[in-house]
Amino acid sequence: MPSDLERAMETMITVFHRYAGNEGNSSTLSRKELKLLMETELASFMKSQRDPAAVDKIMRDLDANGDGEVNFEEFVSLVAGLSVACEQIYLLHKQKTGGVKKQ
């Protein structure tokens, strides 16, 4: 039986490929595919964005090789960055409630 972390990795891979290739290359996300993925899978994050150009900025930041598409490796950096930000919020919440001491 897979561990929680193994299931999380499988889910991340599955979600990426659910959106990749709807417009062409099956191993990358176009801007439109990335936007749809983020609006569907990261709806809370997108609702908190006040900048209408957020997806364009994220796309530029993620597209490390400059090909106008986001491959899985580039996508993982988005998930990792958001995970780090969420963990920081988690720790702040725990500090306020007395659950975690500041390091």
How does pLDDT run across 6-19, given as a tens digit for each residue?
A: 999 999 999 999 99
Inter-axis angle of helices 4-19 and 31-41, nearest 10? 130
The whole-angstrom distance between residue 12's C-alpha and the CA centroid of its chain comes to 9
In this prediction, residue 20 carries a pLDDT of 96
pLDDT per residue as tens digits for the range 18-31: 999 888 899 999 99
Please report, for the chain, the start and end positions of each structural domain, with discontinuous segments joined by +: 4-97
Residues 6 and 32: their CA atoms lie apart, in Å, by 28
Residue range 4-97 forms a domain whose CATH class is mainly alpha
- pTM of the predicted model as reported, rounded to 2 decimal places: 0.79
Q: Compute CA distances 93 → 34, 47, 99, whole Å.
A: 30, 21, 8
Residues 51 and 54: their CA atoms lie apart, in Å, by 5
